[in-house]
Structure 1
Amino acid sequence: MPFALPEPIADYFAADASDPVAVAKCFTADAVVIDEKRTHTGREAIAAWKAAASAKYDYTATPIAVEDQSGRLVVTAHVAGTFPGSPVDLRYAFTLSDDLIARLEIVP
């Protein structure tokens, strides 16, 4: 990765496909994740969302670009794996609060 990401975002991508509990620890207690038009609120729901995705598909997400958009950090990641339409570049829009992720929206 040729650029630095804030620690909670770097930790999120490091744990993304293999450790749902570590992913959830990157978020605030009341964080919101929106992925595939579904909303997951709180660490427990985020860990369950990530565990389900990791069980259903084998994949890697490699950050390839980052852009600051009015307080949100939008990371473009190349995602490849055993899911329909692979590979694809997805945009991960992160909002940080107190050195944790408060909100994440994942879109194509």
Structure 2
Amino acid sequence: MTASTTIRPDQLPAPILGYLAAHMARDADAALRGFASTAVIVDDGTTYRGTDEIRRFLSKAGAEFSYTTDLVGAQRIDGAHWVVTNRLEGDFPGGVVDLRYRFAMDGDLIAELVIAP
């Protein structure tokens, strides 16, 4: 098992940085650019596969709430796996949550994203 390494956020791969910036700006099309056409996102127990399902997810994710997002941690697991921790604060139930965004890369594209507390 490979040990993770804490990194500065600017050391994340460009597609991950692009996704994070676009998602915070609620720009689904820009967020989608970093994903492979066969990518998978798992969030809140639901799996979204491929470009169309991921676009729908990105367009709706969190839209019913107002919240801020702060990147509070980043880790490199190995050359293809990265974890980003974001703290969300807003008017959703509980008001504050730290979410781990686990990315799996396939070359220069995101192949999988699992979002979980």
Q: Same fold (TM over 0.5)?
A: yes
TM-score range normalised by the length of the shorter chain: 0.7 to 0.9
**Residue 75 of structure 1 corresponds to which residue in structure 2?**
84
Q: State which drifts further: 70-79 or 93-102.
A: 70-79
- Choose which of 30, 34, 37 in structure 2 pairs with 1:26: 34
Is residue 25–residue 43 contact of structure 1 (8 Å, CA) maintained in 2? Answer: no
Deviations 1:41-83 (A, max 9, x none): 1121111011112432233332211112244201111112332
RMSD: 1.6
Deviations 1:80-108 (A, max 9, x none): 23321222111000001121111000110
Is residue 16–residue 61 contact of structure 1 (8 Å, CA) maintained in 2? Answer: no
TM-score normalized by structure 2?
0.82
Structure 1: gaps spanning 5 or more residues: none
Deviations 1:3-50 (A, max 9, x none): 312111111110114111111111000000000000001121111011
Alignment of 1:18-57 (within 5 A): 18-57=26-65
- Specify the structure having the higher radius of gyration (Cα): 2
User: How many residues are treated as equivalent by the alignment?
Assistant: 107
TM-score normalized by structure 1?
0.88
Is residue 67–residue 73 contact of structure 1 (8 Å, CA) maintained in 2? Answer: yes
Runs of at least 4 residues of structure 1 off by over 6 A?
none
